[in-house]
């Protein structure tokens, strides 16, 4: 298993990295779309608001590659807002589209 972790400039990375290491895995941080290709599993630790996180993903060019990753059925673990972003939208950030992998709006 080659474990990657999305680093979008927010999120509780250190705690999740430490948890992975305690389980015997050493995740590599991902900040660019082309880096996804080298991984088999992906973690998206989330912290922050839905809108701000989507803006960061878009700015880094990671939004479409994440949609493709998930559509391909590759292993993905979203924590907190890393899970919420899978939805089409959020009441927290009206007008901001999520990744749209899951139908519905996060309350």
How far apart, in whole angstroms, are the C-alpha atoms of residue 71 and residue 7?
A: 20
How far apart, in whole angstroms, are the C-alpha atoms of residue 87 and residue 102?
A: 5
Residue with structure tokens 């509780």?
12
How far apart, in whole angstroms, are the C-alpha atoms of residue 28 and residue 97?
A: 27
What pLDDT was estimated at residue 99?
Answer: 97
How far apart, in whole angstroms, are the C-alpha atoms of residue 22 and residue 97?
A: 35
Taking each helix axis as running N to C, give the angle between helix 50-60 and helix 63-71, from 0 to 180 degrees, rounded to the nearest 10: 90
How far apart, in whole angstroms, are the C-alpha atoms of residue 107 and residue 101?
A: 16
Give me the CATH number covering residue 71.
Answer: 3.40.50.880
Query: Where do runs of H (alpha helix) occur along the chain?
Result: 13-22, 50-60, 63-71, 81-84
Tally of domains in the chain: 1
Per-block mean pLDDT, blocks of 10 residues, the chain (107 long): 93 90 96 96 92 95 97 96 96 96 96
Q: What's the whole-model pTM score?
A: 0.90
What pLDDT was estimated at residue 10?
Answer: 79
Contact of 105 with 89, CB cutoff 8 Å: yes
What pLDDT was estimated at residue 42?
Answer: 97
Domain that holds residue 44: 3-106
What pLDDT was estimated at residue 96?
Answer: 97
């Amino acid at each position: 298993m080659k474990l990657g972790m999305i680093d979008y400039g927010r999120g509780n990375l250190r705690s999740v990295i430490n948890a992975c290491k305690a389980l015997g895995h050493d995740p590599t941080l991902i900040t660019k779309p082309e880096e996804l290709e080298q991984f088999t599993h992906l973690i998206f630790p989330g912290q922050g608001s839905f809108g701000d996180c989507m803006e960061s993903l878009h700015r880094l060019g990671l939004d479409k590659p994440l949609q493709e990753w998930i559509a391909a059925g590759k292993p993905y673990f979203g924590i907190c807002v890393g899970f919420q972003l899978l939805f089409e939208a959020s009441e927290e950030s009206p007008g901001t589209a999520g990744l749209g992998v899951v139908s519905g709006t996060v309350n």
